[in-house]
Amino acid sequence: MPAPSPTTTAGVLGIDIGGTKVALRIEPALPAGDPVDGSDATDGAGTPVEATFRWEPMASAAGDLDALARQVASLRSRWAGPISAVGLAMPATVDPTGLVTTWPGRPSWSGLALDGALRDLAPGAAVAYADDGDLAALAEAAAAGCPNLVYLGIGTGVGGGIVLDGRNCPRPGRGSAEIGHMVIAADGAPCTCGRRGCVQAVASGPATLRRAARHRSAATTGPGTNTDADADADAVSFPELRAQWLAGTDWAVRAVRESAAAAAVAVVGLTELLHPALAVIGGGFADGLTGFAAAVDEQARALGRPGHPPAPVRAAVLGGLSSLSGAILLARQQG
Ligand SMILES: [Zn+2]
């Protein structure tokens, strides 16, 4: 690669790693409109470049890293300047020494030294990684212009993050905000983590669809016959749930409002502890259900105590791009 000329724009690389696909983007190291470098970022030299790709389903960690390196090289060939920092959004659990401990989405990554792998992608650049829910929260806070917020991402699981004074809480290296595994019912539904009563056990997309199937079965065959086996035989798809939720059909409304209630309990508890100015609800499942954030807001209001209203609840604005945007912000913080 030729040495960058002084007129090229320094970039930061954001990477959002998922269990099945990866999104990458290079943006100017200083955002458009920055008083120091705003002209560079808007004159065409600093136009963001991006790419997405899917992992090979059964690839090893080394194979995944080779694929990632090829994609990064391809993306860098479309960016004229140097890369000063890399930010990575990651769903896996990473220990304080930087080793991937568990990642159900890509089990072969267990034991991988993330720091070294990232440094190899962009030699000389500062590198950092963080939980994808934490980074989504950071990006939503920036988009909302709100330095104190909580974020719930509702999809296959329930993720989330907390931003206080414009920074993630807990701080990097002290674990991530596992809002989905807050216990909201001591003897509640079983969670995929092995415990009962987590927010995720009620509010995740799959949990909501399973409950919707049971409610629909009970509505058509009467109570007492709605076993899990019946529900499995007559599963509710997301498009069905969405259509019936919008149509106001009783079984769908009940299932979605129960999920919204679980999210509302989380918002109320987080408000008591952290006093955020805003609670933001995103994630693919919630994004697809128009009115879900409003349902959370309504039920959170009902749980407020006198003089202590819960944080207002709004729908996320960045949709599926929140973690990638957060990875870019994390990279910029390294500068
Ligand atoms: Zn759990």
Look at 231 and 152; give whichever has higher pLDDT.
Answer: 152
Query: Which of 83-97, 111-125, 183-197, 245-259 is most confident?
Result: 245-259
Rounded to the nearest angstrom, the distance between the alpha carbon of 65 and the centre of ligand 1 is 29
Ligand 1 centroid to Cα of residue 196, in Å, is: 7
Q: Give pLDDT, residue 329.
A: 93
Neighbours of ion ligand 1 (CB under 5 A): 181, 191, 193, 198
Q: In this structure, are residues 309 and 298 in contact, taking their beta carbons and an 8 Å threshold?
A: no
CATH number of the domain located at residue range(s) 11-124 in this protein: 3.30.420.40
Do the domains 139-318 and 11-124 match in fold?
yes
**Domain boundary assignment for the chain:** 11-124, 139-318
pLDDT digits (tens, 9 = 90+) for 183-204: 999 999 999 889 999 999 999 9
Please tell me the least confidently modeled range out of 51-55, 241-245, 295-299: 51-55
- Residues near 116 by Cβ (< 8 Å), separated by ≥ 6? none
Could you read off the pLDDT of 140-182 as tens digits, one per residue? 999 999 999 999 999 888 999 999 999 999 987 787 899 999 9
Per-residue confidence band for 18, with pLDDT thresholds at 50, 70 and 90: confident
At residue 164, the pLDDT reads 97
Of 196, 146, 166, which Cα lies nearest the Cα of 314? Answer: 146
Mean pLDDT value across the chain: 89
pLDDT of residue 325: 95
Residues 6+ positions from 216 with CB-CB distance below 8 Å: 234, 236, 251, 252
Query: pTM of the entire structure?
Result: 0.84
Ligand 1 centroid vs 59 CA: distance in angstroms? 28
Region 139-318: CATH code: 3.30.420.40
